[in-house]
Amino acid sequence: MYLHKFLIIAVLMGASLANAQQSRFGAPATQEDIDKSFWTVFPDGEFLPDGEGNVAAGRELFEYNCTLCHNMPGENDPVKDEIGKLFGVDDKRGRTNLQQTIGSYWPYPTTVFDYIRRAMPLIAPMSLTNSDYYSLTAYLLYENGVIGEDEIMNKDTLPKVQMPNRDGFINAYPEVPEKYKAKD
């Protein structure tokens, strides 16, 4: 009799264990929830938003929104250079240059857009429109000698921009390094 009861309990437990992979907690996320938390842009341009911008508009936006902390091209305020030097490093390869400017170091142009949209201006991030951020991206790329003054930046053109240091990168651990594989 007792054994019989125990078996029933064991069967019930077995059933719930089989279901353990089912999602227990949390609410389903709607597409709206997901869209609100904008997707991060991939180097191939996936998830770049609509809108477009140009260098002239970017220059104006930069002067108004960014020069509290960053130098304009040609300016040399040392405090602003320490916060973040955005232009004026001639060395196009990163190795001998610890300044790591967009033109000398960054391997992908999409990162410029994604980063300044999420983080800049530092005191009011995400306060501009996607087109504004495309313009600022165009301006930063132009002043770093990466694109021409007339180039328009949008979700089609931006991923195609060739960065000077694109081939300078190697990946340390593309796959699980053997010595770090979990031992069980």
1 part of the interface to another protein, by CB under 8 A: no
130 is a site residue for ligand HEC (CB under 6 A): no
Q: Which of 41, 136, 138, 146 binds ligand HEC (CB under 6 A)?
A: 136
Q: Using N-to-C axis directions, what is the helix angle for 130-143 and 109-119, rounded to 10°?
A: 130
- Tokens coding 127: 């306060």
Residue 93 touches which of ligand HEC, another protein, none (CB < 5 to 8 A by kind)? another protein
Nearest approach, Cβ of residue 59 and another protein (Å): 22
Query: What does the alpha-carbon distance between residue 61 and residue 180 come to, in Å, rounded to a whole number?
Result: 47
Query: Which one of the spans 53-61, 121-129, 145-153, 154-162 is the region binding another protein (CB under 8 A)?
Result: 121-129
86 binds ligand HEC (CB under 6 A): yes
Identity (one letter) of the amino acid at 177? P
What span, in angstroms and rounded, lies between the C-alpha atoms of 151 and 52?
Answer: 11
According to DSSP, residue 81 is labeled H
Binding mask 57-76 for another protein (x = CB under 8 A): ------------x-------
What is the per-residue binding string for ligand HEC in 99-128, x denoting contact by CB under 6 A? -xx--------------x---xxxx-----
∠36-39-42 over CA atoms, to 5°? 165
Q: SS3 for 143? A: helix
Using CA atoms in the order 160, 131, 72, 161, what is the torsion angle rounded to 10 degrees? 0
Residue type, 101: T
Q: Which residues bind another protein (CB under 8 A)?
A: 21-29, 33-34, 37, 39-44, 69, 79-80, 82-83, 93-96, 98, 100, 105-108, 110-111, 114-115, 118-119, 122, 125-126, 165, 168-176, 179-180, 182
